[in-house]
Amino acid sequence: MQINSNLSIETTRKKALERMQKGIIAYKLSNLGWDVSEHYGDGFDLLCLRNQDGTQEIARKIELKAVDLKSYSREAKNKSHSRKAKSFSQAISPNEIVASTHIIISIFNEIELKGHFVMSIRQVFNAVKKKKTSKFKKYKSFSEFQKAAWKVSQKKVLRRKGNKKKLPRLSLDIGCTFKKFNKGDWELDTFKDKWDNL
C-alpha cells in the first residue's frame, strides 16, 4: 500500500507545531510561578496551579491553539495554484468552552513567533460577540452561552454512531484576515502577551 507522503508531512508538521507551542508556554508559565502539568483528556491542554498570597491556590485549565501563518498559504497553494489564502482560522469547540478556563493562541510564521494571545474563555466570547455574529445574538451572557455549549457537548458524547441529526454549531471562531492581523486590528489583538489575564 502506498503512503501519501504529503499527508504524512502535514500531520508531522502540525504535531511538531503543537509540541513546540506546548513547550514554550509551559516554560513561560513556569517562569511566572505556575506549576504546569499536561492534561491528556479532552477540553484543555494544561492544568496550572499557583499559590496566591501564600495561602489560596488558584487553578487554570488552559486550552492551547497554535497557528502557523505560513501553513495557511501553503495549504492554499496545494488546493489551487491560483488561489492565495487571505486569512487563518481556528475554532474553540463546545467541549473546550465548557472545560477550559483560559486559552492561549500562539501565532507563528514557521518558527518565528508573532505573539501569544492570553485570555479567559469569557473574554474570547465577549470579543467574538462584538462582531455581531447571528448565532450569538440570543445569548445575553457568557454563562448562558456556556450552558448551551455544555448541552451540545453532552449530546455529542451521547450520540449514537450513524445519527444524522444536526446539532447547533456553538464553536467560537477565532479567525482573522492576514491584512487585519498585520495591522493589529484583530479583535483578539488586545490580549497579546497579557499573561496577567491568567
What pLDDT score was predicted for residue 82? Answer: 46
Q: What is the CA radius of gyration of the chain?
A: 18
Cell numbers describing residue 21: 507551542
| DSSP code per residue over the chain | ----HHHHHHHHHHHHHHHHHHHHHHHHHHHTT-EEEE--SSS-SEEEEEEETTTEEEEEEEEEEEEEHHHHHHHHHHH-TT----EE--EE-HHHHHH-SEEEEEEEETTEEEEEEEEEHHHHHHHHHTTT-GGGTT--SHHHHHHHHHHHHHHHHHPPTT--------PEE--EEHHHHHHT--TTGGGBT-GGG-
Question: Residue holding cell 454563562?
Answer: 143
Q: Is the pLDDT of residue 75 over 70?
A: no
When pLDDT is averaged across residues 163-183 and rounded to a whole number, the result is 84
Q: Which strand (E) or helix (H) includes residue 16?
A: helix 5-31
What pLDDT score was predicted for residue 146? Answer: 94
Q: Please, which residues have CB within 8 angstroms of residue 76's CB and are 6 or more apart in sequence? A: 83, 84, 85
Asked if 179 and 86 count as a contact pair (C-beta separation under 8 A), the reply is yes
Give the model confidence (pLDDT) of 38-69 as tens digits: 998 889 999 999 987 777 789 999 999 999 99
Give the model confidence (pLDDT) of 123-170 as tens digits: 999 998 888 777 888 898 999 999 999 998 888 777 767 677 777 778
> In the structure, what pLDDT confidence band is assigned to residue 6 with cuts at 50, 70 and 90?
low
Name the nearest CA neighbour of 148 among 158, 161, 135: 135
